[in-house]
Structure 1
Amino acid sequence: MGKSRIYLLAALLLLGPTGTSFGALNVVVSLKPIHSLVAALMQGVAEPKLLLTDAQSPHSMTLRPSQMRMLTDADLIVWIGPALEPSLSQVLQSDRYRAALVSLIDVQDLHLLPIREHEAWQSHGHAHHQEHTQPDSASEAPIYDSHIWLSPENAVRMVRYLTRILTGLDQSHREQYMENSRALLARLQTLDDLIRVKLEPIKNIPYVVFHDAYQYFEAHYGLNTVGSVNIDPDRLSGPRHIHRLQETIRRTKARCLFSEPQFEPKMVHTLVEKLGLGSAELDPLGQQLAAGPDSYFILMKGLSDNLTGCLSREMNQ
């Protein structure tokens, strides 16, 4: 059992069946895609607070005093975990936060994929369904890829888990949470079906991404990503990797290179021009979207639309 689950059980016992004596739960969520799912679950009860701004990267952000107060005042803090959010991990080491902390990477029965090395791109690997533990500290090397929300299957599991947490902490709104959960799960299934149909014509066309954030999406829909410019978005790859990537692009006849709106690396533009690739953007965090219960759905649909747009265009040329 992960440490976050032990602390969460303690929180359930301490807060009791009514959650908080001051009314609805004060919930803080670190990332926009997860905030969207929590907001959908809490509709008609309260609005969760989004911790990170669009200008902040989960990989390397500094919290403002107002954000520290948000964490201090929260009844429940929902985040992915230390591998994706190392700076936040340092803050959350304090005992005053741990009793109300949900680390979604530790949710039971998630489909987890190991972090890929550049040399192992041709295989998506095998999802892990058993009891798993990601390192508790950001200083330890992570085992699994933390971009878990990009799998609709994982989104369903997280929604079910969060529903249990919310109803346990705030039983006075149990029926509302359960009704919202049923509606959200149905909406996720519809989204999954629509995206699968949308991607079917282009799923075998090879392409390259800016950094390795999308393997859950790729594995779920059977897409043909053949490489990334970087694995870590905050650290540029060396000449050796870029040379190998160019060879891979030529060998596989990759059609498009997808950048991200929060990064403007010169290497992306260089590769697009040099190799005659199509280009478009993918946004795994939804940083250009308004926060709220719809943003997860807009994010996922945006990924499928932009993939289909570029790859279909290049396929027909």
Structure 2
Amino acid sequence: MIRKTVIRASVILLVCATVFVPAWSQAAEAHSVVVSIKPLHALVAGVMAGAGTPKLLLEGGQSPHTYTLKPSDAHALAQADAVFWIGPALEDFLVKPIAALPRASVRVTLSEAAGVHLLPIREGGAWEPHAHGDAHDDAHHAAGKGNHDHDHDHEGAVQSRDPHLWLDPANAQAMVDAIEAALAQARPADAATFHRNAADLKARLGARDSALANQLAPLKGRPYIVYHDAYQYLEARYGLSPAGAITLDPDRPVSAKRIAEIRAKITATGTACVFAEPQFPPAIMATVVEGTGARTGLLDPLGADLSPGPDAYFTLLDGLARSLVACLG
């Protein structure tokens, strides 16, 4: 009798475990979402809040220009129902893995999202001030047109457009719309949650955009140099005055000739500050600014040291603004 009671109890526990535990875990696995870089991950996490957490591929200070997929990354991609990335111009390491995903997977190239305004890649690094003015005018002209013309050849656009588009909060708002639509397609049962979260997130982005405009307005006309040309969207949005970049290609060492060119640019433009990045070697900075009177600062377009999550995008923008004000102000 006792043995039968124990067996019945074991069966009941086994049934409960089968019904409740796997049902939850299978649901979580069935709706996996993968995001390439931290700023995008923050936007996706904000839209998903209360309905799951996306997986981030580049978790630390790695550069998307040089990143190599880990086995765990490849496994996550293979299991994903939705994948979000900027596109091949930034995350070249994802081109083949995304192409190999099952046809049922939702793949979102956010550089092609409706409403995202793209700027042309600036040729060279030590560009002249009038070139930046043209880009700034183009950005405002595009903003006045509404949706960007996405009927052009996207393959050609990949080669000619600056991929650091997340540093414009207006682009972030457009990306939130694309993220919401893609998640609703992958998880229709949670569409109402995604819609509510997206509306809240876009309102918050609008408020932060206004605050940044006020904070950065006093810096207009003050030249500075960055490590590589990753900030064009931030500069165009807020009317900043970059004088050039140390490196023309972040994948290659900086030559002595290039250092001499940048030192001459610092002197010629009266550059107040030269900014390093945590993803790239800092030792070169002392050589670049030696004897020029320019100060050094740190800008991070990816948020290398930030904790992933819905607030990371806002913390990233705030950190960039603080660094610019501290060095240029």
Q: Say which SS state the counterpart of residue 45 (structure 2) adopts.
A: helix
Match status 1:22 vs 2:42 = no
Q: CA deviation at 1:82?
A: 0.8
Matching residue within 144, 153, 167 for 2:161 = 144
Q: CA deviation at 1:97?
A: 6.7
| 1:1-317 equivalent positions in 2, closer than 5 A | 22=27, 25-96=31-102, 99-118=105-124, 120-122=127-129, 123-124=131-132, 125=135, 126-127=138-139, 129-131=148-150, 132-135=152-155, 142-312=159-329
Structure showing greater Rg: 2
* 1:92 and 1:98 in contact (8 A); partners too: no
Structure 2 residue identity aligned to 1:90: K
SS at match of 2:227: strand
2:5 aligned residue: none
Counting matched residue pairs gives 289
Q: Which stretch has the larger CA shift, 240-249 or 210-219?
A: 240-249
- Structure 2's unaligned 5+ residue stretches are 1-25, 143-147
What TM-score does the superposition give when structure 2 sets the normalisation length? 0.82
Superposed CA RMSD in Å reads 2.0
Following superposition, the deviation at residue 265 of structure 1 comes to 4.0
1:114 touches 1:144 (CA, 8 Å); kept in 2? Answer: yes
- How many percent of aligned residue pairs carry the same amino acid? 41
Task: Rate the CA distance shift 1:120–1:277 in 2: closer, same or farther, 3 A.
Answer: closer
Higher helix share: 2
Distance in 1, Cα, partners of 2:285 & 2:86? 28
Distance, in Å, in 2 between the alignment partners of 1:120 and 1:254 is: 13
- Measure the CA separation in 1 of the matches of 2:194 and 2:241: 38
Which ranges of structure 1 fall in alignment gaps of 5 or more residues?
1-20, 313-317
